[in-house]
Amino acid sequence: MISIPREIREFINSQGIFAVGSIGGTKFCNVSPRIFFLVTEDLIYWLDFFKHKSIRNFTVNPWVTISVYDKNTLEGYQIKGIVNILTEEPEKSEIRKKIIDMTLKSYQSKKVQNLSQREAQVIKFIPKVIYELNPEKYSDLSIGSDIDAQEFLIKRGK
């Protein structure tokens, strides 16, 4: 497991949203936004309120990509890793509560408040490779990795 550098954690939190890309049995990519999340030093958690495309994909293929970017500066990060659906209590409930409390401080809309009342899966994301998304820099080199990226690409058929 790699650590998520402080500046990247702060960047993710400052944006308040990131996109999660996953691929399951249909081979179609699903990309969905997340605002209910928690970033720690080495993990990212988020809530999944809808039990369809993403959750199905996670059960078939746990490899996902998170993308977060600033539309004004065109800077951002892409993080590839593995997800697990948390089921263990009290960890699941504690993380869910923390995420909801943090999100409701930033978003006061009725829609977000209503969504926070729904049942949700707690997703634990374990980062494996971090890339910088900056059009002025070479983005094929990872910022941090705990896997051999070349070996990973070969195994995945790239």
Domain boundaries, the chain: 6-155
**Phi-psi label, residue 153: left if phi above 0, alpha if psi -120 to 50, beta otherwise:** alpha
Superfamily of chain region 6-155: Electron Transport, Fmn-binding Protein; Chain A (2.30.110.10)
Question: What pLDDT, on a 0 to 100 scale, did the predictor assign at position 143?
Answer: 63
pTM, two decimal places:
0.86
Read off the tokens for 98.
């923390």
Single out the residue of 82, 72, 67 nearest to residue 132, CA to CA: 67
Tens of pLDDT along 9-23?
Answer: 999 999 999 999 999
Tens of pLDDT along 77-113?
Answer: 999 999 999 999 999 999 999 999 999 999 989 999 9
Judge contact between 124 and 83, C-beta under 8 A: yes
Helices (H) and strands (E) in the chain, counts: 5, 8
Going 146 to 79 to 61 to 51, the CA torsion angle's sign is positive
